[in-house]
Structure 1
Amino acid sequence: MNKRFYSFRKLTGLSFLFMLFLLGTYSTTQAQEKGNFFGGDRATRFGFKGGANVSQLYIDQVDGNSERSKWGWHAGIFVKAPVSDYFAFQPELLYSNAGTKVSYQGSNLLGVRPGEVRYNLNYVQLPLLAAITLGPLSVQFGPYGSYLIDANIRNLQIDDPLEPTGGIGLDESDFERFDYGLAGGVAMDIKGFQLGVRYNYGLREISDKGLAGRLVNNSKNSVAQIYLGIAF
């Protein structure tokens, strides 16, 4: 297996195993309970949600460099509007952190010193999800659009008093402002709480210009999420 995929797939797999464990524990006892969140009623609910991100860019790198996933977070609001007992619409508005970490051997051509470079990309994201609901369980899927509001690119191994942040001269203007892709996952609603896992697959290259384009050649966002929401 390609090493740069291993840690990301391992963490994503653990998230889904955790979710399946919870589903097995609760689904049989909660499916018929009338007091459940969306357990048979058609009320539209508004809520807040937040959780952890595990992100990677899958950069096409030159030999000698290595990439690994980066932890981040997301938070925002959502609405769940049931259309029937088995279908609902769930739009969301989130602040979400993506990116990756790459260990470079150094390149005069790319203008990068040896060290570990962290790509920290912060988006406002709008997922528009459909949800197939079966009791407390829902399977969610749909498109998302994102707008890049901030980018922080650092060489984490630089300790230079003249360059204390380790910045390598890139910011949000060096990346595509708009991103879009597909999102899918599973969630469980229990008494006003929603617990879920989701995967966001980007369909647009995040940069194809200048230094950023050379560093993140052909890269797209890839983010796994685990979250908790509360609705009213």
Structure 2
Amino acid sequence: MTGVLEGKRALVTGASKGLGRAIARALAAEGAHISGVARPSPELDSLAGELGPDFEPWPHDVTGEAVLAAIDAAPPFDILVNNAGTNRPQPFAEVEDEALDLMLGLNVRAPFRIARAVARRMERGAAIIHMTSQMGHVGSPNRTVYCMTKHALEGLSKAMAVELAPAGIRVNCVAPTFVKTPLTETMFADPAFAAFVERMIPMRELATAEQVAAAVVWLASPAAGMITGHSLLIDGGWTAQ
């Protein structure tokens, strides 16, 4: 695709690093103007320097009120990518309330509130994409809260897709397997965990951030104009077993 998002305005949360950074780059490469939300950091500044006028940094916490005020003050968006999220792997019986509240707030409450604010002013042809996970389709040891939050986003997306379809707004999920990012690199330092992931992916390789970003671009583009309420798994066959 070349320039398929020319003139479109996109909001990307968690844009400063990892998947969010790759998604912002990919959307900008197709002509979109990006407002990238992330807490203030050198990474956010460097992305602004890299993408230039195609990128507007929004140094906000996605769980706060400032990002909602910024959405209300900005022109309407054509694309929303709700990418910000986190994980705190723990055995179910040992999950701490602090970790539970953190993940529910960042992985569920924040994307709901941001999508609600953005959708209120979207026009026909707009697209909302929630970044979920293969863990939004299956269960996995030590990930009860993470799985719960990603299943919640999958359900939210389906309900939003049905409700917003008459307005011409599409809502989909992109659900990747593990990708080497700053969030996961400490997990892969554990040889047992790395071996577990390799066993579970029939293709025997991790997804790349660029592969995930390409899926986001496609779902945001006119090529996916009749696709809504769908979850696009990029998991090398993990959930096919």
Normalised by the size of structure 2, how large is the TM-score?
Answer: 0.25
Higher fraction of helix: 2
Higher normalized strand content (fraction of residues): 1
